[in-house]
């Protein structure tokens, strides 16, 4: 079935550093979403992207919808310890609302 590939799989960075992660797909999506999941909790929506080429920010987070509609990236600037968690990209499939998720990027931040 459809699959999204996220990279890197994990990152271990120093507090204050910037982070970049991306997500690629073999299929076109019309909407890309980025979620963050803490251990034992459900995913929390961070950013939604609707148009190819769109660049959207939410505080220190910035995400872009690739112009081919097959990729997206998420940047986190000036990382802080509470940024620790697993970041998932998701593509919205058709009009069903079904989300196709990547396998996640695990972020660890060293104070």
List the interface residues with another protein, window 56-85 (CB under 8 A): none
User: Is the omega angle on the peptide bond into residue 16 within 30 degrees of 0, that is, cis?
Assistant: no
Q: Closest approach of Cβ 65 to another protein, in Å?
A: 13
Question: Of residues 14, 26, 82, 95, which one binds another protein by CB under 8 A?
Answer: 95
Task: Find, among 88, 85, 91, 84, the residue nearest to 110 by Cα.
Answer: 84
Which range of residues in 11-19, 28-36, 53-61, 70-78 is near another protein by CB under 8 A?
28-36
Question: Of residues 18, 80, 98, 108, which one binds another protein by CB under 8 A?
Answer: 98
C-alpha 111/C-alpha 15 separation (Å) is: 5
Q: Is 48 in the site for another protein (CB under 8 A)?
A: yes
Provide the residue count of the chain: 111
Q: Closest approach of Cβ 90 to another protein, in Å?
A: 8
C-alpha 66/C-alpha 81 separation (Å) is: 29
Task: Find, among 15, 39, 8, 14, the residue nearest to 105 by Cα.
Answer: 8
Q: What residue ranges bind another protein (CB under 8 A)? A: 4, 31, 33, 35, 40-45, 48, 50, 88, 90, 92, 94-104
């Amino acid at each position: 079935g459809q699959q999204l590939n996220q990279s890197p799989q994990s990152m271990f960075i120093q507090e204050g550093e910037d982070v970049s992660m991306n997500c690629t797909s073999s299929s076109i999506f019309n909407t890309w979403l980025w979620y963050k999941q803490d251990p034992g909790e459900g995913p929390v929506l961070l950013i939604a992207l609707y148009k190819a080429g769109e660049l959207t920010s939410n505080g220190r987070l910035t995400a872009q919808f690739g112009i081919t509609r097959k990729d997206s990236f998420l940047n986190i600037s000036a990382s802080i310890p509470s940024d620790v968690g697993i970041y998932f990209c998701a593509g919205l499939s058709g009009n069903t609302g079904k989300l196709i998720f990547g396998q996640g990027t695990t972020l660890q931040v060293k104070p």
